[in-house]
Amino acid sequence: MTINETSQDACPVVVCVADNNYVQALCAAIHSGLINLKRYPKILLFLIHEDISDFNRNMILKSIPPQKADVQWLPLPPGMLTKLKKLKVDGWLAHAIYFRIYLPELLPAQIEKAIYLDSDLLIQGDLGELWDMDMEGKAVSAVPNLDWRVSSVRGLKNYKELGLSADSKYFNSGVIVFNLARWRQGNISDKVVQSIEHTKGESLWPDQDALNTILANDWKELDRLWNYEALMNPYDEEAISQCHILHFTGPCKPWHDQYSHPTKELFFHYLDMTAWSGWRPRKLWKRGYWFLDMTRPYRHSLGLSKSHILQIIIILKSFLLKVKGRLGLPPKLKNRSELPVLLNALGLKGTGVEIGVYQGSYSEAILRKSSLSKLYSIDPWKIFPSEEYADILNSDENELYEAYLTAIRKLSRFKNRSKILKTTSEKAVMLFKDEELDFVYIDAQHAYGPCQRDIRLWWPKVRRGGVFAGHDYLSGKLPEGDFGVKDAVDEFVKEHQLTLFITQEQWPTWYILKDETVPLL
């Protein structure tokens, strides 16, 4: 689908950010908007993303009725991403909050208007009605925060310099109608970024404060029903049922275990209409969101950012794994994001390999969290005959080429620590000597035969004391393809009497510690 095929005059243009941490929320938000769309038959939906996983991308697409939306993916250009990642974030916030700022530059020039929506909301009204509203020549239309003025503690420190009265309203940036022509003419995006840089991380809401600063006298006020904040308003069942957009602002969301607001049921009502039907949260308090939020003021005073705290957590996890090792306890991991921490705990600083890379997200995580001196990322990025490889990713040559380019972009910042090999597993394995590698991670073809082959090819390459692992410990016919990983791994482990560990997640990772007593093969 091209822009010419779906004119912006024929349907509303809607933009959201696709983030791996908010994918369930995004699916619920989009689906709620589509089933309540009345004035127009469909929308033109743009999804801005940095590194959305293949699984989450497919789940999003499965959740969107194709007759109700034409979807276009907007990857952030490397230069723009680098610029935005230099901006400070804190608390539960992520760099994705800044993506909306360059929305006018990301969208095609012929589009002059767009509705931006956060992911943590539900749409109960008709977006067509919001789309048809006259913006009166303003740069944006938005809803003011309830009882929140520029002079409030959470308002603008420089409101007097901007010539604003103390009771001037302050808008929430979760629902914005953009006048893209005005933004482009006034170079507003760069001005907003400059305002964020000027605060030097002192602002609690950097993107929102900057938008209110630059657009202080250039925004049209919308009725609060177009951005009704669930937790900021006294609970009012009638108001919630009548609001057009229900926004779950704050660190605690309906998909968090601690969320006890009555609107939790409404969120899952819409989520169960998507591909995530039946999904429910785990005990998310264990992931530290509340710790990050509660310690926020102290971290500000100490000059510590969220990334600093997360790095400290990685070091502590590594230390705890070392203690477990000394005590002879098994190194059980909750998910594969902890695997690089295990490598650190085991003192593995040599060479690693990932087979099956796609967009390079996990290679990036390994390089970022581990101390490996070199990681080889191996993938042919080519289509195989369907009878050989029945997988959802084995379908589009252009998409694979785009994934290859994305992997190059993601891994380029690691310079000499990263080496991409665009070749097959069988050819790549011949480049390495037996017992040369500290770590091997197999995430290539998931059918039983190819997986069994990769296990037997790469096992001898891992040195004693190294870690041998892989993704998707599942078997059977799944919507994503034919899987035989579990059968192949179990057979190999039983044959050589090895100890197998499995992570506790939807798409489990399996891993083996290759000690002195196991066979080299």
pLDDT tens for residues 454-490? Answer: 999 999 999 988 999 999 999 887 766 778 999 999 9
Q: How many domains does the chain have?
A: 2
**Model confidence pLDDT, tens digit, residues 260-300:** 788 999 999 999 999 999 888 755 444 444 455 555 555 55
Asked if 378 contacts 354 with a C-beta cutoff of 8 angstroms, the reply is yes
Max CA pair span of the chain: 77
Tell me, yes or no, whether 32 lies in a domain.
yes
- Count CA atoms closer than 13 A to 228's CA, side-chain side: 23
> In this model, does residue 81 exceed pLDDT 80?
no
Question: How far apart are the C-alpha atoms of 159 and 80, rounded to whole Å?
Answer: 29
Query: Of 250, 271, 292, which residue sits at a domain end?
Result: 271
User: Identity (one letter) of the amino acid at 18?
Assistant: A
CA distance 180 to 186: 10
Instruction: Order across the sheet with 69-75: list the strands.
Output: 69-75, 43-49, 13-18, 113-117, 169-179, 140-149, 219-221
Which of 225, 244, 271 terminates a domain? The answer is: 271
- Yes or no: say if 182 and 163 are a contact pair by the CB < 8 Å rule: no
Please count the other Cβ atoms lying within 10 Å of the Cβ belonging to residue 216: 17
What is the structure's pLDDT at 205? 75
Written as six digits, the tokens of 212 are 């209110």
Which CATH number fits the domain that encloses residue 177?
3.90.550.10
Pair 234, 366 in one domain: no
**Does residue 376 sit in the same domain as residue 458?**
yes
Distance CA 19, CA 94 (A): 10
Q: Which of 97-111, 242-256, 308-322, 488-502 has the lowest mean pLDDT?
A: 308-322
Q: 282 in a domain, yes or no?
A: no
Separate counts of helices (H) and strands (E) for the chain: 19, 19
pLDDT (mean) for 17-45: 94
CA 264 to centroid of chain Cα atoms: 22
Q: Are 220 and 76 in a shared domain?
A: yes
pLDDT at 307 over 60: no
When the pLDDT of each residue in the chain is averaged and rounded to a whole number, the result is 83
Structure tokens at 159: 């409101």
Decide: pTM greater than 0.75: no
pLDDT digits (tens, 9 = 90+) for 208-225: 888 988 898 899 999 999
**pLDDT tens profile 157-204:** 777 877 778 878 889 999 999 999 999 999 999 998 888 887 665 666
**Residue written as tokens 């597993």?**
425
* Amino acid at residue number 428: A
pLDDT digits (tens, 9 = 90+) for 135-155: 999 999 999 987 667 776 566
Confidence at 2, pLDDT banded by 50, 70, 90: very low
Q: Residue 411 and residue 383: Cα distance in Å, rounded?
A: 23
Report which of residues 211 and 6 the model is more confident about.
211
C-alpha gyration radius of the chain? 25
Lowest mean pLDDT among 403-417, 426-440, 452-466: 403-417
Same-domain pairing of 26 and 136: yes
Predicted pLDDT of residue 92: 44
**Quick one: 322 and 234 in the same domain?**
no
Asked if 141 and 55 sit in the same domain, the reply is: yes
AA letter at 94:
A
In this structure, are 360 and 237 located in the same domain?
no
Average pLDDT score over residue span 12-22: 92
**pLDDT greater at residue 229 or residue 201:** 229
DSSP state of 235: P
Contacts of 103 (CB under 8 A, 6+ apart): 15, 48, 114, 116, 178, 180, 183, 189
Q: What is the DSSP letter of 222?
A: P
Q: Which of 243, 271, 299 is the last residue of a domain?
A: 271
Is pLDDT of 399 > 80?
no
Least confident of 114-123, 203-212, 360-369: 203-212
| Domain coverage including residue 351 | 307-513
pLDDT of residue 441: 97
Least trusted range by pLDDT, from 6-10, 40-44, 357-361, 451-455: 6-10
In a shared domain, residues 22 and 148: yes
| pLDDT for res 433 | 95
Asked if residue 250 is part of any domain, the answer here is yes
Between helix 188-199 and helix 206-214 the angle, nearest 10°, is 130
The predicted pLDDT at position 132 comes to: 96
Q: What per-residue confidence (pLDDT) applies to 90? A: 55
Whose structure tokens read 């919630």? 240
